[in-house]
Amino acid sequence: MKIAHLLLICLLALVGATSFAEGEKERLANTVILTAEGVANLRLEAVTAEETVFEETVFALGRIGAAPGHRAVVSSRVPGRVVTVAAHIDRPIAKDAEVLVLESRQAGDPPPSVRLLAPLAGMVTVVNVVPGSPVEQKDELVEIMDLSEVHAVAAVPEHLIGKLRPGQKAHIRVAAFPDRVFEADLAHFGAAADTATNTLEAAFHVPNPETLLRPGMRAEFSIVASSREGVMSVPREAVQGDAAGRFVYVKDYELKNAFVKTAVVLGAQNDRFTEVTSGLLPGDEVVTRGAYSLAFAGKGSVSLKQAMDAAHGHPHKEDGSEMTKEDIAAAAAGADGHAHDGGTKFTPLTMFFAGSSGLLLVLLILSLITRKRTAA
């Protein structure tokens, strides 16, 4: 029985070694190796794969508008003519600051003047008059907006409204600032759906202390409908390939400036991340920025032999496998122009297989002898 166990252990070791060798060969075949300059030129960046909270989102388009109560129009209660204009477009103005001065049409020498003041603090967004302009009571002379908070309105398709409720967070992006994400909570829904587009408004009050967001800007909304914990995910830009074959590039654990093309199976995705159900392990460093360029880099600018030599400190073959003493001697002979008897070439893997096979044969013979003695 002990011999049978040893036989099984050796067999498993042999199979394991074979699988490891095949896996290592496949890994090296799918490795892109660059110089330090190549990595810098491609501006490669990587993140560490880890299990995080994954958000299921609802996507919608919309626009930025003025927050309720944050817009004011300056007009005059008396007709007249503009004398001076103190408000300038795209300039901040304080509450009760002078906006403009009117000369009234009432009789007088000089005619009486009227100072119009800012009803709120904010940014001057519209100026419709210049000195000398006639003014009537119905005219909108100057518009002021308080942009410290804006109103972002998403047009959500009706069939997705059931997934949303007030208080849910949204990630909001605008084309003017593609690298910025503005976050806000869902405040309320519109009173009626738009029958032309079959959408319902979802409104968000967005803090805007830097006044980057301006009314009229087109916005993209990713509204968080639910979340799951312990999900392996990577940034969407890391995933390459077509629908039938998705892959990412993982930093090699051994070779410098080397990246391994790794097949992955994907799950759900949101505006920022893609779920990976198979192919990655926690701790893998996955290329994000520059991953698309790596897909067209071929085998890279550094040979596998050069990379393996640098990593291990001794020479390797062109396919990255170990060189025996005979291989080294043959390479030296080729370099100095003299022929040498290379002899039989044994790699460490070949020697392992030969040793394992011999041990298996000995154990098999011992097992047969033991069985014969038992039968006798």
Per-residue pLDDT reduced to its tens digit, 181-213: 999 999 999 999 999 999 999 999 999 999 999
Would residue 175 count as lying in a domain? yes
* Confidence grade of residue 109 (pLDDT, cut at 50, 70, 90): confident
Query: Do 61 and 185 sit in the same domain of this protein?
Result: yes
- Which range marks the domain in which residue 110 is found? 71-145
Answer for the pair 225, 168: CB distance below 8 angstroms, yes or no: yes
Q: Which of 182, 198, 229 is the last residue of a domain?
A: 229
Q: Domain of 125: which CATH number?
A: 2.40.50.100
Q: Which of 189, 211, 229 is the last residue of a domain?
A: 229
Q: How many CB atoms lie within 10 A of CB 86?
A: 17
Structure pTM?
0.64
DSSP assignment of 11-52: HHHHHHHHHHHHHHHHHHHTEEE--HHHHHHHT--EEE-EEE
Candidate ranges 147-151, 321-325, 333-337; pick with highest mean pLDDT: 147-151
Query: Do 25 and 84 sit in the same domain of this protein?
Result: no
Q: Please state the domain count of the chain.
A: 3
Better-predicted residue by pLDDT, 358 or 224: 224
Query: Do 134 and 162 sit in the same domain of this protein?
Result: no
Q: Domain of 166: which CATH number?
A: 2.40.30.170
Sequence-ordered list of residues with C-beta below 8 angstroms from that of 70, at least 6 positions apart, any chain: 120, 122, 145, 146, 147, 148, 149, 150, 151
> Over the stretch 255-298, which tens digit does the pLDDT of each residue have?
888 999 999 999 999 989 999 999 999 999 999 999 998 888 77
Helix segments in 217-313, DSSP class H: 291-294, 304-312
Q: What is the arithmetic mean of pLDDT over 102-123?
A: 90
> Over the stretch 353-367, which tens digit does the pLDDT of each residue have?
666 666 667 777 777
Would residue 351 count as lying in a domain? yes
Query: Do 99 and 120 sit in the same domain of this protein?
Result: yes
Query: Do 155 and 25 sit in the same domain of this protein?
Result: no
Query: Do 18 and 122 sit in the same domain of this protein?
Result: no
Query: Do 122 and 166 sit in the same domain of this protein?
Result: no
Would residue 309 count as lying in a domain? no
Q: Which of 113, 145, 177 is the last residue of a domain?
A: 145
Query: Do 61 and 191 sit in the same domain of this protein?
Result: yes
> Over the stretch 36-94, which tens digit does the pLDDT of each residue have?
898 899 999 999 999 999 999 999 999 999 998 899 999 999 999 999 999 999 999 99
Would residue 139 count as lying in a domain? yes
Query: Do 162 and 26 sit in the same domain of this protein?
Result: no
Answer for the pair 117, 156: CB distance below 8 angstroms, yes or no: no
In whole angstroms, give the CA distance from residue 290 to residue 44.
Answer: 5
Q: What is the arithmetic mean of pLDDT over 331-348?
A: 52
Query: Do 92 and 218 sit in the same domain of this protein?
Result: no
- Percent of the chain's residues with pLDDT above 90: 60
pLDDT of residue 162: 94
Determine phi and psi for 311, rounding to 5 degrees. -75, -35
* Confidence grade of residue 153 (pLDDT, cut at 50, 70, 90): very high
Mean pLDDT of the chain: 83
pLDDT at 97 over 80: yes
Would residue 269 count as lying in a domain? no
pLDDT of residue 25: 64
pLDDT of residue 353: 60
Q: DSSP label at 322?
A: B
Query: Do 86 and 128 sit in the same domain of this protein?
Result: yes
